[in-house]
Amino acid sequence: MVGIKPTDLAPTTAVKFVGAGTAACIADLVTFPLDTAKVRLQIQGEAQLGHGAQAVRYRGVFGTITTMVRTEGARSLYNGLVAGLQRQMSFASVRIGLYDSMKQFYTHGSDSASIVTRLMAGCTTGAMAVMFAQPTDVVKVRFQAQVRLADGVKRYNGTMDAYRTIARDEGVRGLWKGCMPNITRNAIVNCCELVTYDIIKELILKYDLMTDNLPCHFTAALGAGFCTTIVASPVDVVKTRFMNSTSGQYSSAMNCACTMLTKEGPTAFYKGFVPSFLRLGSWNIVMFVSYEQIKRAMMRTKTSWESPF
């Protein structure tokens, strides 16, 4: 990320890797209810198609949260949290923590990176992270959506049970279900999120609008979250539908997208847009602010250990 002064000690790759995973977990803890509401809204049209002319259960992000608390209890807002934290610790560490290293790889060690180079770095780390952490994402989405079982029986009894059940019933490949749309989605998200944050922060510092501190990080993160939501929402909806689908419901992610378009219209691709923005905007703010502070704290600690006197 930009903003390090020449006289500052730049964070190491290990510091960025651990810091990104930790910051992402903090952000998930704060914003997980919004993510769960987003998933419920995204699959709502699909559930209606399967059960005929059924009344709309969820209306808006706060209406969804209120309905879930009333009918399922407050704990339902955190369904899949364990898998979500597992996902962030493995996923964000790669896609965010290795972003600067990948930029340097493409520029052969130069600190000057063009827009194209940043986009390439974002796509690369986003795809790498999905291939590594996809099972955790599948389990998280299944937990968040398991209200679809109307008889009160839980789809999975716990996180580890979910991994075992999916592998047993759908094969090991079931844990990587939706991998391609998720790679597409996260390549887009990473490009928008990291590159936009990078550029906004760079411009703020270049024109001396703010110093490299919390208000600057807050502004850049909010802008990154808004841009990312607009671009990534259609792919995100398809990813959620496909990963949550039963065996044989869709032949591929493309079939899922075509089914949504023909049966629900183009607006289906922006189902859950408001909670998506509330979640991505708030998630970006918490994550990037935490990430910047964790990096600095870890580097101060490292320096104090290396120079005790």
Q: Are residues 211 and 244 in the same domain?
A: yes
Q: Are residues 116 and 204 in the same domain?
A: no
Q: Which of 177, 206, 232 marks a domain boundary?
A: 177
Q: Is residue 141 part of a domain?
A: yes
Task: Give the number of other Cβ atoms within 10 Å of residue 231's Cβ.
Answer: 17
Q: Are residues 217 and 166 in the same domain?
A: no
* CA gap 271, 236 in Å, rounded: 10
Q: Are residues 47 and 103 in the same domain?
A: no
Do 80 and 143 touch, CB atoms closer than 8 A?
Answer: yes
Q: Is residue 6 part of a domain?
A: no
Q: Is residue 281 part of a domain?
A: yes
Do 97 and 16 touch, CB atoms closer than 8 A?
Answer: yes
CA angle in degrees (0–180, nearest 5) for 23-64-280: 30
Q: Are residues 49 and 129 in the same domain?
A: no
Q: Is residue 43 part of a domain?
A: yes
Q: Are residues 223 and 264 in the same domain?
A: yes
Task: Give the number of other Cβ atoms within 10 Å of residue 275's Cβ.
Answer: 27
Residue pLDDT, tens place only, 255-302: 999 999 999 999 889 887 887 888 888 999 999 999 999 988 887 776
* CA gap 249, 265 in Å, rounded: 19
User: Residue 124 has what pLDDT?
Assistant: 92
Q: Are residues 126 and 166 in the same domain?
A: yes
Q: Is residue 4 part of a domain?
A: no
Q: Are residues 56 and 87 in the same domain?
A: no
Q: Is residue 5 part of a domain?
A: no
Q: Are residues 133 and 54 in the same domain?
A: no
Q: Is residue 29 part of a domain?
A: yes
> Which two structure tokens, joined as six digits, stand for 64?
């969804």
Alpha carbon 176 to its chain's center: 16
- DSSP characters for the chain? -----TTS-PPPHHHHHHHHHHHHHHHHHHHHHHHHHHHHHHHHHHHHHHTSSPPP---SHHHHHHHHHHHH-GGGGGTTHHHHHHHHHHHHHHHTTTHHHHHHHHTTT-S---HHHHHHHHHHHHHHHHHHHHHHHHHHHHHHHGGG-TTS--S-SSHHHHHHHHHHHH-GGGGGTTHHHHHHHHHHHHIIIIIHHHHHHHHHHHTTSS-SSHHHHHHHHHHHHHHHHHHHHHHHHHHHHHHHPPTTS-SSHHHHHHHHHHHH-GGGGGTTHHHHHHHHHHHHHHHHHHHHHHHHHHHHHHHHHH---
Give the global pTM.
0.79
* CA gap 66, 62 in Å, rounded: 6
Q: Which of 177, 207, 242 marks a domain boundary?
A: 177
Q: Is residue 2 part of a domain?
A: no
Q: Are residues 150 and 68 in the same domain?
A: no
Q: Which of 177, 196, 219 marks a domain boundary?
A: 177
Q: Are residues 134 and 124 in the same domain?
A: yes
> Which two structure tokens, joined as six digits, stand for 208?
């001396």
Q: What average pLDDT is seen over the chain? A: 85
User: Residue 6 has what pLDDT?
Assistant: 40
Do 98 and 16 touch, CB atoms closer than 8 A?
Answer: yes
Q: Which residue is it, tokens 């000690």? A: 9
* CA gap 224, 198 in Å, rounded: 9
Structural domain boundaries, residue 42: 11-78+273-303
* CA gap 95, 115 in Å, rounded: 17
* CA gap 95, 130 in Å, rounded: 9
Q: Are residues 123 and 196 in the same domain?
A: no
**pLDDT tens per residue, the chain (309 residues)?**
665 554 456 788 999 999 999 999 999 999 999 888 888 887 776 655 555 445 567 888 889 899 999 988 999 899 889 989 999 999 999 999 999 999 999 998 777 788 899 999 999 999 999 998 999 989 988 887 775 445 556 778 888 998 999 999 999 998 998 888 788 878 888 888 999 999 999 999 999 999 999 999 999 999 999 998 888 888 888 888 887 787 788 888 889 999 999 999 998 898 878 878 888 889 999 999 999 999 888 877 766 666 555
The domain total for the chain is 3
Task: Give the number of other Cβ atoms within 10 Å of residue 202's Cβ.
Answer: 14
Residue pLDDT, tens place only, 40-66: 887 776 655 555 445 567 888 889 899
